């Protein structure tokens, strides 16, 4: 036995006992010195009366107060009554702060602990010297057993100790075994407190003092709860068998989580406050509101942190989930649907006039009393059959939608002014329609004009592969006048005929699927999208996913401005109830499950962000070989633009002659002039790269190319372009030199300076014109007229190194004096880019 244990038995303080022992001739160094059995007996004999006195006091003072003299540790007087239990082996100990007036009933209800039941566990025997129990005294924060049966405890001053007959709560069925498996929450918390204290123990403070503090803390914490006394072995066993669920006190041990669960729903599931979840999410860098869906991985982490097991109930997510939801729709019963028509053609050839003419004459006829409104598309009825026109003329809208994967148009109407003939945009439109694989009907417009010459147009069109039926070909050509509204019926007839040939069908009985034709934010109505239904039928109240948004259809409005309850295949309809503005071409899909819709939208938004970070998946010369190798590219589409027709054709012909064992080369469009937005859209939609020869992209086109990830390669020597394409196909494209535009300035005025030659008084439009540039080029109407070095750069009369956007300066180009007002001077740098393999 050690000194402190003896002190405890005697109800003495160490500091009082040690001198006593020394006086008795027992050599002790500190409170933890071991004592021989003889020494213990001797001490007990000598100091015993006090010990006995304490017992007497305890017995005699049941329910009363102890003498303050016998509580040396703390000055505060504490009631200490020790009651002998009728059956000592079922004794339980109630701890409470000094609350003498607490009702016994309350005390009896308190011990809700799965403590040891009758018989073994709470045996209040003295600990054996070999196994001192002081270290466990925390778990049962009350005096050691001997003091209960004998001496008045003095160690835990603020604690009132009572022994009493077994608690009201019956012992747990199953006896020792069942009881032994559990370690109560209170015990564990008490242990936690002790651990804390151990760490915080200050040097010089005795273990007894610490223990006393622990008891005090535990008692304060547990307030009025009974702790059963357990044997050391029992306790060890309990710790071993305890489960994490009991420690973290979760309301549920396992929950099922389905993707799309909102923060609020998740909080309810795991029994925490939504605000706490929001805070945890913020700590993890996620700003979410109560009603936003949780990322399942993050939800898993938070749940695990709380000791809750989570099962993800739906394994599929995102597009897979959507596919699953939609494919459960069954086989389907396709029915004929109206054709969807887009009008294309050269500027001023009468596209808008034709669309308006058809709308005015046909919509008014077909729809009773409806006020036509522009929603991006409209439907007309011809002899009981419907035709839908996409109301945004031009190949740009068409290609923009195609670039987003929406193949909406069934038939293209190519408007060609009979008095003007085939023009560059006519050819472009032909290429666009061909690239999309959409049949084309020619509307020869302005036939009313005396200068109209339809045969000349037919002839010109035949040079581009469109041979009129009248000439033995298969292209339908109709002569119309949008102005005089003639030939419109015939045109519509031809559209219906072509539609019949195409056998256009869709199942109106499934969940609606469509494409966004137009979307905008409207005051009072919020985000509004015109959706062209492609299959199924959309109803008010349907849940949907569109782009990275999900929602519920609040209202449907037809192109005549009338509220409708539903819209079937090939019918354009305005949808109200979107949470945001989607992009034209986004797929609109109705789904049954609102939560799944949310999850799909969230998944798309995540992927979109990831794609933005990772760059586009579009093909580029740099990674062409890698894509050929992985099999994702079998054909390389090219758009060629050059300064003159001759160069463009020569380049296209040369490219098509390149050996193509690895990949098929296909020039989908070649034309004259700078790279336009339309070129970029076409390239984006067809996964093509753009080869520019002696030209520059328009500013907007550059920005669009950047956004869409379209590779635009510019050359001044045909051979270099060919060599690059060849090398790219073979994976030999060496670290390539890529040009980076540093800035562009517009020449506003031209000066002739005797020493420096011609100087362009310029205004820097964007970036900066800098002497550090690798070179400059002079661009006129998007065509490079000269490429060379910067000769001089001045602001007022000073030579400067750099002039930033928004400032004026004088620019001289080395060996070039033909600068003209309106020219663009572009400064560029050359970066070395490694090939991605
Ligand atoms: N005489 C005659 N003029 C027409 C006809 N169709 C259109 N126009 C005229 O041609 C001009 C151009 O017509 P738009 O409908 O604006 O042509 P567009 O192709 O839509 O033009 P952009 O939208 O600029 O590409 C207008 O002045 C029309 O009045 C027609 O059948 N006959």
Is 487 touching ligand 1 by the criterion CB < 6 Å?
no
For residues 693-721, give the mean pLDDT: 85
Is 714 touching ligand 1 by the criterion CB < 6 Å?
no
Is 347 touching ligand 1 by the criterion CB < 6 Å?
yes
Average pLDDT over the chain, rounded to an integer: 73
- Cβ-contact 500, 373 below 8 angstroms: no
Give the pLDDT score at 735. 57
Q: How far apart (Å, rounded) are the C-alpha atoms in residues 507 and 513? A: 10
In 3D, which of 407, 403, 401, 391 has the Cα closest to residue 506? 407
Q: How far apart (Å, rounded) are the C-alpha atoms in residues 241 and 184? A: 11
Give percent of the chain above pLDDT 70. 66
Instruction: Return the minimum-mean-pLDDT range out of 242-251, 649-658, 787-796, 826-835.
Output: 242-251
Residue 775 or 5, more confident: 775
For residues 165-174, give the mean pLDDT: 41
In 3D, which of 334, 466, 459 has the Cα closest to residue 412? 466
User: Do strands 635-642 and 664-672 pair parallel, antiparallel, or not at all (unpaired)?
Assistant: parallel
Residue 732: how many CB atoms within 10 A of its CB?
12
Q: How far apart (Å, rounded) are the C-alpha atoms in residues 73 and 372? A: 95
Give the pLDDT score at 152. 39
* pLDDT tens, position by position, 3-47: 778 887 887 777 788 888 888 888 777 777 788 888 888 888 877
Is 352 touching ligand 1 by the criterion CB < 6 Å?
yes
**Confidence bin at 486 (pLDDT 50/70/90):** very high
pTM, 2 dp: 0.49
Q: Which CATH number applies to 513-611? A: 2.40.30.10
**Confidence bin at 371 (pLDDT 50/70/90):** low
**Confidence bin at 396 (pLDDT 50/70/90):** low
| 391 annotated as a binding-site residue | yes
For residues 406-424, give the mean pLDDT: 90
Is 481 touching ligand 1 by the criterion CB < 6 Å?
yes
Residues in contact with 383: Cβ distance below 8 Å, sequence separation at least 6, in sequence order? 496
Q: Which CATH number applies to 633-732? A: 3.40.50.10050
Give the pLDDT score at 3. 77
Residue 830 or 822, more confident: 822
**Confidence bin at 813 (pLDDT 50/70/90):** very high
* pLDDT tens, position by position, 279-334: 888 887 777 777 777 777 788 888 888 777 777 654 555 666 667 666 645 556 78
| 543 annotated as a binding-site residue | no
Residue 100 or 266, more confident: 266
Give the pLDDT score at 208. 57
Give the pLDDT score at 282. 83
Determine the distance separating the centroid of ligand 1 and the alpha carbon of 632, expressed in angstroms.
Answer: 44
* pLDDT tens, position by position, 500-519: 999 998 989 888 999 988 88
Instruction: Return the minimum-mean-pLDDT range out of 58-72, 453-467, 563-577.
Output: 58-72
Give the pLDDT score at 414. 93
Asked whether this chain's domains 513-611 and 633-732 adopt the same fold, the reply is no
Helix residue ranges, H only, 615-717:
624-629, 645-656, 677-685, 699-708
| 812 annotated as a binding-site residue | no
Is 351 touching ligand 1 by the criterion CB < 6 Å?
yes
> Could you state, in order of their start, the residue ranges of all structural domains in the chain?
3-47, 255-311, 339-503, 513-611, 633-732, 736-833
Of 348, 360, 395, 417, the one to substitute when testing ligand 1's pocket (max ligand atoms within 8 A of C-beta) is: 348
**Confidence bin at 649 (pLDDT 50/70/90):** confident
* pLDDT tens, position by position, 664-679: 788 888 888 889 888 8
Instruction: Return the minimum-mean-pLDDT range out of 474-483, 485-494, 712-721.
Output: 712-721
Ramachandran sector of residue 472 (left: φ over 0; alpha: ψ -120 to 50; beta: rest)? left
CATH architecture of 736-833: Beta Barrel (2.40)
- Cβ-contact 156, 138 below 8 angstroms: no
Is 348 touching ligand 1 by the criterion CB < 6 Å?
yes
Does position 711 have pLDDT exceeding 80, yes or no? yes
Q: How far apart (Å, rounded) are the C-alpha atoms in residues 250 and 228? A: 24
CATH 3.40.50.300 fits 339-503, yes or no: yes
- Give the residue whose CA is nearest to atom 13 of ligand 1: 350
Does position 436 have pLDDT exceeding 70, yes or no? yes
Give the pLDDT score at 785. 87
Determine the distance separating the centroid of ligand 1 and the alpha carbon of 445, expressed in angstroms.
Answer: 9
- Cβ-contact 733, 835 below 8 angstroms: yes
| 89 annotated as a binding-site residue | no
Give the pLDDT score at 112. 39
| 724 annotated as a binding-site residue | no
* pLDDT tens, position by position, 96-149: 444 444 444 444 433 434 334 333 334 343 444 444 444 333 333 333 333 333
């Amino acid at each position: 036995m050690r000194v402190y244990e003896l002190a405890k038995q005697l109800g003495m303080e160490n500091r009082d006992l040690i001198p006593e022992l020394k006086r008795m001739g027992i050599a002790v160094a500190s409170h933890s010195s071991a004592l021989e059995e003889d020494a213990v007996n001797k001490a007990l004999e000598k100091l015993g009366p006090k010990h006995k006195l304490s017992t007497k006091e305890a017995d005699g003072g049941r329910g009363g107060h102890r003498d303050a003299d016998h509580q040396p540790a703390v000055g505060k007087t504490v009631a200490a009554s020790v009651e002998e239990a009728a059956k000592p082996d079922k004794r339980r100990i109630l701890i409470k702060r000094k609350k003498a007036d607490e009702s016994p009933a309350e005390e009896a209800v308190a011990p809700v602990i799965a403590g040891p039941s009758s018989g073994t566990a709470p045996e209040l025997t003295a600990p054996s010297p070999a196994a001192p129990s002081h270290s466990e005294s925390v778990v049962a924060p009350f005096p050691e057993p001997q003091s209960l049966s004998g001496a008045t405890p003095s160690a835990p001053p603020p604690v009132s100790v009572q022994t009493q007959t077994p608690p009201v709560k019956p012992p747990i069925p199953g006896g020792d075994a069942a009881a032994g498996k559990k370690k109560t929450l209170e015990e564990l918390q008490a242990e936690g407190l002790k651990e804390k204290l151990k760490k915080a123990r200050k040097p010089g403070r005795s273990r007894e003092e610490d223990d006393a503090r622990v008891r005090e803390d535990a008692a304060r914490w547990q307030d009025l709860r009974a702790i059963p006394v357990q044997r050391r072995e029992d306790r060890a066993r309990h710790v071993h068998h305890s489960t994490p669920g009991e420690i973290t006190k979760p309301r549920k041990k396992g929950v099922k989580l389905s993707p799309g669960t909102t923060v609020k729903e998740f909080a309810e599931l795991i029994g925490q406050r939504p605000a706490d979840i929001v805070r945890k999410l913020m700590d993890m860098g996620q700003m979410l509101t109560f009603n936003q869906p949780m990322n399942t991985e993050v939800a898993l982490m938070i749940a695990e942190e709380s000791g809750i097991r989570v099962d993800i109930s739906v394994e599929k997510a995102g597009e897979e989930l959507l596919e699953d939801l939609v494919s459960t729709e069954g086989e389907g019963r396709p029915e004929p649907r109206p054709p969807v028509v887009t009008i294309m053609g050269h500027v001023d050839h009468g596209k808008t006039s034709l669309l308006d003419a058809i709308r005015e004459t046909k919509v008014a006829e077909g729809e009773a009393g409806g006020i036509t409104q522009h929603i991006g598309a409209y439907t007309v009825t011809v002899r009981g059959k419907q035709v839908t026109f996409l109301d945004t003329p031009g190949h740009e809208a068409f290609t923009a939608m195609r670039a987003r994967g929406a193949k909406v148009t069934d038939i293209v109407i190519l408007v060609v002014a009979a008095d003007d003939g085939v023009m560059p945009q006519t050819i472009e439109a032909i290429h666009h329609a061909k690239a999309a694989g959409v049949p084309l009907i020619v509307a020869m417009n302005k036939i009313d004009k005396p200068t109209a010459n339809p045969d000349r147009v037919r002839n010109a069109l035949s040079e581009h592969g469109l041979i009129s039926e009248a000439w033995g070909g298969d292209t339908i050509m109709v002569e119309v006048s949008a102005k005089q509204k003639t030939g419109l019926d015939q045109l519509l007839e031809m559209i219906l005929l072509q539609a019949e040939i195409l056998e256009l069908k869709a199942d109106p009985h499934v969940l609606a699927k469509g494409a966004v034709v137009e979307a905008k934010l409207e005051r009072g109505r919020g985000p509004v999208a015109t959706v062209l239904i492609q299959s199924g039928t959309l109803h008010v109240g349907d849940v949907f996913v569109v782009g990275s948004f999900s929602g519920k259809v609040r209202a449907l409005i037809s192109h005549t401005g009338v509220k409708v309850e539903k819209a079937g295949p090939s019918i354009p309809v305005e949808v109200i109830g979107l949470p945001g503005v989607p992009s034209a071409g986004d797929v609109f899909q109705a789904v049954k499950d609102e939560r799944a819709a949310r999850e799909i939208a969230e998944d798309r938004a995540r992927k979109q962000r990831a794609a933005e970070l990772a760059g586009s998946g579009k093909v580029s010369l740099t990674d062409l070989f890698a894509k050929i190798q992985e099999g994702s590219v079998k054909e390389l589409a090219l758009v060629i633009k050059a300064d003159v027709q001759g160069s463009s054709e020569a380049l296209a012909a040369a490219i098509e002659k390149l050996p193509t064992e690895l990949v098929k080369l296909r020039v989908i469009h070649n034309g004259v002039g700078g790279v336009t937005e339309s070129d970029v859209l076409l390239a984006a939609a067809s996964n093509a790269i753009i080869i520019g020869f002696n030209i520059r992209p328009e500013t907007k086109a550059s920005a669009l190319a950047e956004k869409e990830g379209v590779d635009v390669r510019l050359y001044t020597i045909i051979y270099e372009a060919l060599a690059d394409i060849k090398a790219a196909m073979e994976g030999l494209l060496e670290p390539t030199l890529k040009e980076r535009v540093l800035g562009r300035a517009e020449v506003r005025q031209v000066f002739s300076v005797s020493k420096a030659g011609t100087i362009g008084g310029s205004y820097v439009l964007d970036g900066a014109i800098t002497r550090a540039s690798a070179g400059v080029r002079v661009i006129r109407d998007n065509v490079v007229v000269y490429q060379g070095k910067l000769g001089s750069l001045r602001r007022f009369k000073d030579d400067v190194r750099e002039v930033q956007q928004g400032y004026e300066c004088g620019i001289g180009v080395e060996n070039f004096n033909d600068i003209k007002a309106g020219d663009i001077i572009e400064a560029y740098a050359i970066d070395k880019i490694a090939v991605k393999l």
